[in-house]
Amino acid sequence: MLKAIIFDCDGVIADTEPLHFATFQKVLAEEGIPLTREDYFDRYLALDDRGCFTRAHADNSKDISSDKLSELIRRKASFVEVVMRESLELFPGVALFIRQAARKYPLAIASGALRHELELILHHGRLKDYFQVVVSAEDVTRGKPHPEPFLKALALINSARADAIEPRHCLVIEDSIHGVKAAHEAGMLCLAVTNSYSKYALSQAEWVVESFEDLTIDEIEALFQKKPLT
């Protein structure tokens, strides 16, 4: 039985993956590290900033200190905030779906983005009041594909409840391969949307959809009842 829904944000709620790619590419180029779009989507998408910069340096046989890592994260954040304020867009149908879902279920966000980036998106979409919990990159020690973000989100939902929700009663909505893996590692079912990857690439998810347009919470409930996690 479906009892809670946990959303990723970048690539699910907001069309921000191209913005993150562009700003990662810019900062890494300043460090002499090339980043192609193909490499970003193959190896880095769904990693938080810490994970992306760490992996990019390792992939290019470069060391990175904790101070340097913090500097790169700050630099990238300053770039991406400007770009987001100029060109931020939500995916079609997602705001309506969130409003429908919030009438029946506790909702959470579990994202690798920084908190101020998530707040900017939620403010832009007037969606903040629909989410009981927001877990950002600052709130976990291990980002996706580790399940910690989803487990942390569920723990925070349960902290405000008398009856705890089990992971198997949660639906994760993701756009990335790493996100699908993290959902399953958390013991949750996953609905993937093809905003960042193909249907084939996301085939490990229980369900794959192309868009939130015309998708209703009733349809989600019907799917969940047909394929419970035992």
The pLDDT tens digits for 142-156 are 999 999 999 999 999
Domain co-membership, 120 together with 209: yes
- Mean pLDDT for 28-52 is 89
Domain co-membership, 63 together with 31: yes
Query: What pLDDT, on the 0 to 100 scale, is given for residue 111?
Result: 96
Assess contact for 173 and 10: CB atoms under 8 A. no
Domain co-membership, 144 together with 58: no
Domain co-membership, 97 together with 80: no
Q: Is the pLDDT of residue 72 over 80?
A: yes
Domain co-membership, 29 together with 10: no
**pLDDT-based confidence at 230, cuts 50/70/90?**
very low
What is the distance between the alpha carbons of residues 134 and 106, in angstroms, rounded to a whole number?
Answer: 12
Q: What range does the domain containing 116 cover?
A: 4-15+89-226
The full length of the chain comes to 230
What is the distance between the alpha carbons of residues 4 and 165, in angstroms, rounded to a whole number?
Answer: 8
Domain co-membership, 210 together with 150: yes
Q: What is the CATH number of the domain that holds 115?
A: 3.40.50.1000
The letter for the amino acid at 103 is R
Q: Look at residues 42, 60, 87 and tell me which one is the last residue of a structural domain.
A: 87
190-227 pLDDT tens trace: 999 999 999 999 999 999 999 999 899 999 999 888 87
What is the distance between the alpha carbons of residues 228 and 46, in angstroms, rounded to a whole number?
Answer: 26
Percent of the chain scoring above 70 in pLDDT: 99
Q: Is the pLDDT of residue 229 over 60?
A: no
Assess contact for 16 and 22: CB atoms under 8 A. no
Contacts from 51-58 at CB under 8 Å and sequence distance 24+? 51/112, 51/143, 52/24, 53/24, 53/27, 53/28, 56/24, 56/28, 57/33
Q: Which residues of 205-228 are buried (b: 16+ CB within 10 A; e: fewer)?
A: bbbbbeebeebebeebbebbeeee
Q: Which residues, in sequence order, are CB contacts of 39 under 8 Å at separation 6+? A: none
The letter for the amino acid at 29 is A
**pLDDT-based confidence at 95, cuts 50/70/90?**
very high
Taking the model in full, what pTM does it have?
0.87
Q: Look at residues 45, 69, 87 and tell me which one is the last residue of a structural domain.
A: 87
Q: Is the pLDDT of residue 8 over 60?
A: yes
